[in-house]
Amino acid sequence: MTSTSSKSHFLRGLRIGLPFILVAGPFSLLFGVVATEAGLNLLEVMGFTSIVIAGAAQFAALQQMTENAPVIVILATALAVNLRMAMYSAALAPHIGGAPLWQRALASFFLFDQNYAVSVLEFEKRPEMTPEQKIAFYGGISCAIVPAWITGTYVGAVVGTAIPPEYALDFALPITFLSMIGPAMRTPAHMGAAFVSVLAALTFAFLPFNLGLMIAAILAMMTGAQIELWLIARGKWS
């Protein structure tokens, strides 16, 4: 019974995750093209995208590499961009923390924006789901998107500059984040963090190596956390 139930949740996650291919495909295709143009060979491009599996961090690190930024700045930039994964993990822990270690390890490796956003919304709507069912659902979404991400990167790296610029593949990144940020703007903490991140990113845009983005990310997280503390102190946070 449990196995059948987990299978149905996996298939549900797979079905819900399939539309994200329309975004992950062009986004990964663009990364393959840009990484090749930056001088990475096919093995380096595929190793990069298969091990990291974090589009925004990959683009940020790649841009720093093309600007010949110091290694410490490249690592710090990628870390700052991916700091949100720590918050994602904390949010998922109550839901899948009871799963076996190997499943949690795989879930952490394949954690990215889309499967996090969809999974958290699903888990909150269906509190009756067991950890096994939640892992199955999460795995379904991941299996829908990850192959498309890796395949798209390969195609982009192989085809390279043959893709016409009028296809505007770079639309994928902002569209992806807008589609996830919109439903998440449900609390004052979320809205405050988003406002501060935009304001700080614009204010510190003059800094070299995109260091302004790191500052904006840190200030946004501090803002969101502080607003939550204020709401908890006033008894308005549940």
In this model, does residue 87 exceed pLDDT 50?
A: yes
pLDDT for res 95: 92
Q: Give Cα 195 distance to the centre of its chain.
A: 19
CA distance 215 to 203: 10
Write down the domain spans for the chain.
2-184, 186-238
Strand, helix or coil for residue 173: helix
Among 3-12, 64-73, 148-157, the range of highest mean pLDDT = 148-157
In this model, does residue 109 exceed pLDDT 90?
A: yes
The pLDDT-based confidence of 101 (bands split at 50, 70, 90) is: very high
The pLDDT-based confidence of 184 (bands split at 50, 70, 90) is: low
CA distance 150 to 64: 22
For 69-73, 80-84, 104-108, 174-178, which range has the lowest pLDDT when averaged over its residues? Answer: 174-178
- Per-residue pLDDT, averaged over 1-22, amounts to 85
CA distance 77 to 74: 5
In this model, does residue 130 exceed pLDDT 50?
A: yes
Q: Give CA torsion, residues 53, 63, 60, 33, to 10 deg.
A: -40
Among 13-17, 155-159, 233-237, the range of highest mean pLDDT = 13-17
pLDDT for res 1: 45
Q: Give the burial string for 28-52 (b: 16+ CB within 10 Å, else e).
A: bbbbbbbbbeeebeeeebbebbeee
pLDDT for res 68: 81
pLDDT for res 183: 60
Contact 110, 146 (CB under 8 A): yes
| pLDDT, mean over the chain | 83
What is the pTM for the complete model shown?
Answer: 0.72
- Nearest residue to 117 (alpha-carbon basis) of 141, 97, 101: 141
pLDDT for res 173: 55
- Per-residue pLDDT, averaged over 55-73, amounts to 82
